[in-house]
Amino acid sequence: MENIYMDYNASTPLAPEVKKTITRLLDEAYGNPSASHWAGSPAKTAFEKARGQVASLIGAASEEVIFTSGGTESNNHVLKGIVEANLGKSCHIVTTKAEHPAILEPCRYLEQHGVSITYVDTDTYGKIDPADINEAITENTVLVSVMHANNETGTVQPLEQISAITKRHGIPFHTDASQSIGKIPVNVDKLGVDFLTIAGHKLYAPKGIGALYMRKDKTLPSFMHGAGHEQGRRAGTENVILAGALGQACQAAQYDKSMETIQALRDDFWERLQESFGSRVHLNGHPEERLPNTLNVSFIGYTGQEILARIPEVAASTGAACHSDTVELSNVLQAMGVDEEVGKGAIRFSLGRYSEVKDIRTVVEKLREVLG
């Protein structure tokens, strides 16, 4: 059996056009983009072209995009920056229990430094009720942060409704869109967000590069201090090669038409699993309002780790960690109220641009052999 990759939500392979951009920039953009001489000019041009490509994908202006080292840095910049901008005040942040650790861990850090955090519950599908966000807001709330689409289940959150609430209260709104970019339409004005996080390696670009959208009328203290790079918002000599790679990936995503095919593959996968295992397989996440590439299912009576260990050729992710005789469900499954007996058998299969019908059929056949 050949290796089969079904973990696109964890990381994507580099797209061919991204590889070509990297190779070209290795030769063309070795100068410092801040330098005014002939070697710096092509580097500066390439860097600003990439910024425009990222901005175009999300409907932003180029000057509203800051390049970062990835989604984690972008999230930290917003969460910690908003608190720093409100030093001397009692700060309160509203987020959700189903966020990625790149949100939850900075929030826990801030709690240790006196910031109050409200973690809003989800429903059984992993969706947030905007009314719960509204109820959580206090006079001290300085930020609301809700991910666009969940990395484990693919459930898409009602950001437009939530942004209407934050606007009414005059509170900045941030979303981690690392999983949704390139899979579903993302437009900052339509969503109504003030800050938005992008992670390159979820988008067929390399690891170590990301971006932060910051609306023109919003400001944050610099996350990195040094020279005046990125309009003084993030110091450090610009990584032209990685920025160019992200820019190219964003341009490709803007014209990518493969997601309909990917969704059809995912739906076919789910139908085959239901035919094969009936009530022994359970869907985690919203049946409709989720990313078109994501299928999180629980195999009842098994653990996800046990199943994947028996088909090592398949790259996928589990939703629970097993330690000796105990099982710890992910924070996402816990937030959804998934029963431990169901949650321990969770596996996230996430498809992508290079997934094929034969992959689906092979995996279902191997699961039949393993589960009987």
SS3 of residue 72 by DSSP: helix
56 secondary structure, DSSP code:
H
Question: By C-alpha distance, which of 207, 179, 189 is closest to 350?
Answer: 179
Cα separation of 319 and 360, whole Å? 20
Q: What tokens were used for 99?
A: 């966020």
Do 214 and 194 form a contact (C-beta atoms < 8 A)? yes
Helix (H, G, I), strand (E, B) or coil at 214: strand
Residue burial 151-177, b: 16+ Cβ < 10 Å; e: rest: bbbbbbbebeebbebbeeeebbbbbbb
CA distance 231 to 225: 12
Nearest partner of 274 among 157, 184, 364, 176, judged by Cα: 364
Pick the catalytic residue from 91, 107, 250, 322. Answer: 322
CA distances 7 to 304, 318, 334, Å, are: 14, 10, 21
How many residues are recorded in the chain? 372
Strands (E) across 53-188 are located at 65-68, 92-96, 116-120, 141-145, 173-176
Catalytic residue check, 322: yes
Catalytic amino acids?
A: 322
